[in-house]
Amino acid sequence: MLLAASDRGLCGVWFEGQRHGPDATTWREDPGHPVLVETVAQLRAYFAGERTSFDLPLDLQGGTPFQQSVWSALLGIPRGGTTSYAALAREVGKPQAARAIGAAVGRNPVSIVVPCHRVLGTGGSLTGYAGGLERKTALLQLEGALM
C-alpha cells in the first residue's frame, strides 16, 4: 500500500495498481511522519480484526466540494454496514446524482479509512472498486458485511 500525509493529516491510502492512484515519483519519503506511523498501526489493527474504525486526522482538500461531501458521508457507514449509491446520493442531498456519487466514490483518495468499499450497487450487488472487486469482497468479508 502507498500512504500519503500532509501537515493537515492523512491524504492518501492506495493499493498497488489501484485505478486513480497518484503519481508519487516526486514525493518525499518520510516514514517517521507521525500521521503515517499512526496510520500503519491502525491499519494493522484493522486487518487483525482489533479495530472497527479509524481515528486519524484527514486532509481531503484535494477533492471538489461535492467529492468532499461524498467522502464525508462515507465516514458515517459503520464497519459491517453497507449502503447503496442511491442512498448515498439521498444522504448528500443529491437524490438524482447516483452516477456522480459513483464517480466521487471511485475517486476517494483514502481507501479503507474512508470506507468506499462499503458502497454497493442496486440490490446489494458488488460493483466497481478502484482497488479491484477481489479486494472489495475481502474487505467486506473481514468486516462481516459479506459471508
Q: C-alpha cell of 115? A: 470506507
SS3 120: strand
Q: How far apart are CA 76 and CA 51, in angstroms?
A: 16
SS3 5: strand
Known catalytic residues are 116
SS3 58: strand
**By C-alpha distance, which of 69, 86, 68, 88 is closest to 77?**
88
